[in-house]
Structure 1
């Protein structure tokens, strides 16, 4: 997290409502591992952390309850649901089956201007990594990859990947920031764009494979990683 606290994300393409921004910020904090599984968080406490009032936080957490990301704890707040190592492996495996070939195919099909329009988002990812703002990093990373997938013209595919990303956890991001290693992963987004603009499908596939490998490698929770069965 940056020294000035978490940054409420900006959703691409339109001005989001305050509630939507709070929901996305809380979801990004979950994915980044800043809100830990098993911990109970109160709406007032989270509101103070994000610099907003308690009402939109409470409403946002109820949205996350419906998504299965948190549970309500009567008279206390909300408990973050745990995700097993096996589940994380499976999510990443399915993502790789979808995202790597779909993104690689864009080297032949994607509109050049549409690809160039994603460069500011890729640069935002790098800036967030340098600032150590994990919530902004996760939000921009989501917008970048879903933005690429949208260019394939399959809305259902985009929603499947969006759901998988929301359910994932990247517990190792904080350690990467402390070690100064997150920037290298962030810059891979620019590599992906450059390879797409060069119409080099093989290079796109190679960078995407390396990039997604970080999800259960560099970014994984401590412990051995078992391949999906």
Structure 2
């Protein structure tokens, strides 16, 4: 059975099909009006949502996250950035399923904004390789298998392990000790069982370690590879279990202990095991 869904689309409500639940990111009235005017201008030029053919009637349901109800008011200058962050979180959490197509208008309804900032954010995700443009429909979430994950882990190990070993020889123990709060933050995030929260803390720890090398390009490239490694696998579980996240987080603290102790053998062993685990 189909009925009008909260995204302004027809949503299947038959047996076994969850209903669409939406969370709203409230945008100030002035910004909303500007977005609407901008959308009308695009439509008048023949390139609006209708002209693009971004249909919403057959899209999969988009679950509401627990954090959406407490999301702060979106400010005009950061609408696109906040939507991009929200989409990245939904991607890591598995709310945007691999292989599914989502339109900017439907996602805009979810966040309470026009399709324009959503479309811009999705274009950025397309540049990052998270989604691909589907002409006249929207954006499809990429499908990844275990082979791609293994390849990403191999590349990360080739980049980060030698850097960590070099830093272990040159960075004083006091500097490593300053990273203890970041390592502990990954443990707390893992304890929550939220993969999206853990993903952010995980990347923050690795960025801080690599930043000690003083090479911003290195940090940026490594972080991009890390982000891609966190996307869900097609046909795989939506998220790793809490026990798996805790094991990954424990490796952070153990690695930090080895770096402080300047134990190069343990640093190399832990680093390689860490990347082999895909984190």
Counterpart in 2 of 1:226?
none
Q: Secondary structure in 2 aligned to 1:79?
A: strand
Change in 2 beyond 3 A, CA 1:77/1:117: farther
Is the 8 Å Cα contact of residues 25 and 135 (structure 1) preserved in structure 2? Answer: no
Counterpart in 1 of 2:181?
120
Counterpart in 2 of 1:72?
133
Is the 8 Å Cα contact of residues 98 and 232 (structure 2) preserved in structure 1? Answer: no
Counterpart in 1 of 2:211?
150
Indicate the structure (1 or 2) with the bigger Cα radius of gyration.
2
In the alignment, the residues of structure 1 paired with residue 87 and residue 204 of structure 2 have an alpha-carbon distance, to the nearest angstrom, of 16
Is the 8 Å Cα contact of residues 37 and 79 (structure 1) preserved in structure 2? Answer: yes
TM-score (normalizing by structure 2): 0.62
Deviations 1:169-224 (A, max 9, x none): 354675532x6332121121111111111222212112112211111xxx7xxxxx
Is the 8 Å Cα contact of residues 188 and 211 (structure 1) preserved in structure 2? Answer: yes
| 1:158 Cα offset (Å) | 2.2
Q: Which runs of 5+ in 1 are unaligned?
A: 9-15, 220-229
Aligned length: 207
Counterpart in 2 of 1:4?
66
In the alignment, the residues of structure 2 paired with residue 20 and residue 116 of structure 1 have an alpha-carbon distance, to the nearest angstrom, of 32
TM-score (normalizing by structure 1): 0.73
| 1:63 Cα offset (Å) | 0.9
Change in 2 beyond 3 A, CA 1:104/1:52: farther
Is the 8 Å Cα contact of residues 125 and 137 (structure 1) preserved in structure 2? Answer: yes
Q: Secondary structure in 2 aligned to 1:35?
A: coil
RMSD: 3.2
- Give 1:175-186 correspondences, 5 Å limit: 175-177=239-241, 180-186=243-249
Change in 2 beyond 3 A, CA 1:187/1:57: farther
| 1:140 Cα offset (Å) | 1.4
Matched, 1:40 2:101: yes
Matched, 1:103 2:164: yes
The structure with higher relative contact order (CA 8 Å, sep 6+) is: 1
Is the 8 Å Cα contact of residues 106 and 151 (structure 1) preserved in structure 2? Answer: yes
In the alignment, the residues of structure 2 paired with residue 47 and residue 137 of structure 1 have an alpha-carbon distance, to the nearest angstrom, of 26
